[in-house]
Every structure is written in structure tokens, then in C-alpha cells.
Amino acid sequence: MVMSAKSTSDGSVEIESLFVPLDGTEWHERAISYGLLISKWFGSTLDLFFSLADVPPLTRHGEWHQRAHLSLDTAEQTRNRDASIINNGAIHEFGKILANDYLNEVTRRLEHHGVDITTDLSAGSPAHILSYKAQQAGDSMIVMYARPQNRIRRYVRKKMAEELLSVATVPVFMVNDDRNIDIRYIRIQPESVIVPLRVEGAMKACLPYALAIAQKNRIPIHIVESNIEYRRNRSEFDRSREYLSKVLEESPVEHSFRASRLGITNSLSAAHKSSPYSWIVMGSRMRYGFTRNFWPSVADNIRREVSCPVLAVPHEEVIPKREEQLKRWIDDWLAHQDALSLLAAEVATQANRRGWAQQITSLYASDDEDRPDSMRPPQ
């Protein structure tokens, strides 16, 4: 089984790769600042990931054929292929050029930070492809900007964050901050780590990460215990508290236990309000399937209530099954791909180096009702 973290001699964890999914918008780039911060703590490589849709949407009348000349197919290949495939391929090639330009530009902007940066361009379901790449990388984490959806929208049309939480086998760091604030000029480094007291399996999953972050920054850990949750399963939570107390007592990290009469979500929301620069680290089964649309996991609920970053670490129980599901999905996806449509590692750049974000968004970014007018496809 591929593990997402590797213990070191001092009991902390190693994170070798940080995957940051981008879609060409400034909102998703907000996650890069957190990725840079974490990569400096752990010496991680920052992997900027961009995924093109399997079937790129036609966003403007008439552009379907106008972009056909950008296809990298030869004339002979073009004559022997169905017209719809040719057009899809043409727009896909245009998207590859734009996406590579965009990733190269972002990389240049980050060079002065002294962090190893790689770029990754792929096609297919971004959640599945990214989860599989992160799983294969071993000691990795996904860092992404994730705006929450209400239940109806989550059921009808899921965003990448929703899909990712349902398939990921590695920790997912979700940035859900105030978009009206420029994070370049505010503090993003945590002043404390908040950990909700959960069942023992969840604590074993998240505690190494909470301790590592606390040790890197010399900040305290606050354990938040919901009395409502405790009364539902006293024996499980007693075992969890015993395990947690033993580990924390052996650690040099300052820690405290905070009891709350509220439910777990409201307890964490209150703890965050009293310490607004805290990060929440928690273990989660990351519920998926039909039930998740209407009864989301605790990690889902928490990221809707707080604006601070939330690190959701997969419960050990769900990882083996998800690894098998990901492998089956990848095998099935590859079996239905035309070899010519798979993206090369590097694509020659011919696009104009202005307006990448707008062009990419108009072609491939998901339809986001929160997207500013300047980033929307022309009507």
C-alpha cells in the first residue's frame, strides 16, 4: 500500500511532493502561497498540475473550425479521422499550448523562492488523474483552493474539490480564505494547530501532520472535544483521548484540551474565531457516493464553516479500497484513449504570451458562478 507520509527519526513526517491543481484563474493560484510555505518546511517539490478536459467544450460560436489549423495532426491523419475527432483534437492542441505557456509563466514567477518546481499537464478527470499521480509519488500532499458548494449544486454538478475528496488517498490541504483579501499582504503562517478529537483511527491519521506543522513553526496544538460527539460514543473517544494524551506527553509540542458543549463543526468554528490564524488538521473517512451529497463528512462541513485552511488526512481504513478503485479507473481510462490524444511531456509553444488565464478559462475551466466577469467566457 502506498503511504502518504513517512516517519522520520524524530517522529515527524516527510512530504516529498506537493501537488497544486490550477485552472488558470487567480483564485486557484491562491493555493500556491500555501504550497510554497509548506514546501519550505519539508523541502518538498512543488508540482503545478493542469488538467485538460477529455472533450473540451465549445464556448464560442464558430471557433470550432477557426482553431482547426492548430492541430498537430498531419494532413494524412486528418483525412482519415472523423470530423468531430479532428475538431476536438484541434482545440485540445490549442489548449495544450496555452496551458504550457501558463504553467511556464507561473514557474518563472516563483523562481526566486528557491523551491524545486515541476509542472504537469494531463487530460481526463482532474480529480482521478491528480489523485493517482499523488498516490504514485508516495509521500505527497494535495494543496488546493476549494470553494464550498451547497448541497443542491454538489449533487447536480460537482467541482473538482468535491470529486477530489471522494477519491484521494493522500492528505488534501484545502484553502478556503476570504477572496476579498490579498494573501500576498497578510499572514498565512499558522499561529496554532486545531485538532478535533475523533475516533482513534482518525487521530492516528492526522496527528503526525499536526505535530510536524507545530514543530516546524514552534506553535501549540489545541485539541477540541465536542461533548455531543463524546456522548454518542464514549468508549471510542476514551480510547482516543488516552492514545492522544500519551503521544502528546512524549512530544515537545505545547498542547491543550478544550471541551465544548457544541457539535463538532460549531466547536471548531468557535475555536477558529478565537484563534483566526490557526490551521485545522483532522482525520477523515472522506465519505463518498450518494450519501456524501446529502450527509457530507465532517471535513466537508468544517470547510464550509471556517475560512482557515483545513488539512483532511484520509483515514487508514479507506486508503486500500480507494487505491484499488483508482487503479481500475486509470486502467479503464487508458483502455479507451487514442494514443495520439495522450499529451506529450512538452509541447512547442506558439501562443501569444498575453491573456493566458482568460483564454484557458474560456476553454477548459469549469463553469463557476463565483468567477468574476473578466474571467468568464464571452457570450
Q: What is the pLDDT of residue 151?
A: 53
* Residue 347, in any domain of the structure: yes
Give the chain's domain count.
2
Q: Apex CA 308: angle with CA 305 and CA 314, to 5°?
A: 80
Same domain flag for 80 and 95: yes
What secondary structure does DSSP assign to 248-265, as a single string?
HHTSSS-EEEEEESS-HH
Q: What is the dihedral of CA 284, 288, 293, 298, to 10 degrees?
A: -10
DSSP 8-class letter at 343 = P
272 and 342 together in one domain:
no
Instruction: Give the residue from 76, 103, 73, 112 showing the smallest Cα distance to 90.
Output: 73
**DSSP conformation class of 309:** -
- Cell 499561529, located at residue: 191
Cα separation, 198 vs 196, whole angstroms: 6
| Whether residue 219 is found in the same domain as residue 114 | no
* Domain-located, residue 184: no
Our measurement of the distance from residue 153's CA atom to the centroid of its chain's CA atoms, rounded to an integer in Å, reads: 19
For residue 114, report the phi and psi dihedrals to the nearest 5 degrees: 70, 25
141 and 195 assigned to the same domain:
no
| Residue at 181 is within a domain | no
Give the pLDDT of residue 287: 60
pLDDT at 158: 57
CATH of residue 143: 3.40.50.620
Verify that 214 and 142 share a domain, yes or no.
Answer: no
Give the strand order in the sheet containing 17-22.
Answer: 117-123, 45-52, 17-22, 140-145, 172-175, 310-314, 279-284, 193-196, 221-226, 255-260
Residue that is last in its domain, among 317, 340, 364: 317
Instruction: Please name the residue that has the C-alpha cell 504537469.
Output: 120
pLDDT number for residue 183: 58
Residue 183 lies in a domain: no
* 147: Cα separation from own chain's centroid: 11
Q: Is residue 147 part of a domain?
A: yes
In this structure, is residue 210 part of a structural domain? yes
Give the Cα separation of 128 and 138 in Å (integer): 16
Residues 360 and 299 in one domain: no
pLDDT of residue 236: 86
**What per-residue confidence (pLDDT) applies to 295?**
55
Domain housing 307: 189-317
CA distance 369 to 15: 34
Positions of the chain with pLDDT under 50: 1-5, 7-11, 55-91, 152, 156, 339-379
Based on the domain organization, do 23 and 166 belong to the same domain?
yes
Domain termination site, one of 279, 295, 317: 317
CB 318 within 8 A of CB 334: no
Tell me, yes or no, if the pTM score tops 0.85.
Answer: no
Q: How far apart are CA 171 and CA 150, in angstroms?
A: 23
Q: Residue 215 domain-assigned? A: yes
**Is residue 55 domain-shared with residue 106, that is, in the same domain?**
yes
Query: Are residues 291 and 232 part of one domain?
Result: yes
Whether residues 211 and 304 fall in one domain: yes
pLDDT score, position 35: 95
What's the CA gap between 351 and 98, in Å, rounded?
A: 6
Per-residue pLDDT, 92: 60
Domain boundary among 299, 317, 335: 317
- Per-residue CA distances from 287 to 115, 135, 206, 306 (Å): 34, 18, 16, 19
Residues 210 and 242 in one domain: yes
Mean per-residue pLDDT of the chain:
73
Let me know whether 84 and 143 are in one domain. yes
Query: Is the residue at 179 inside a domain?
Result: no
Provide the angle, in degrees to the nearest 10, between the axes of the packed helices 26-42 and 83-110. 50
* Residues β-bridged to residue 226: 260
Q: Look-up: residue for cell 504570451? A: 353
CA distance 124 to 337: 10
Whether 173 contacts 311, CB under 8 Å? yes
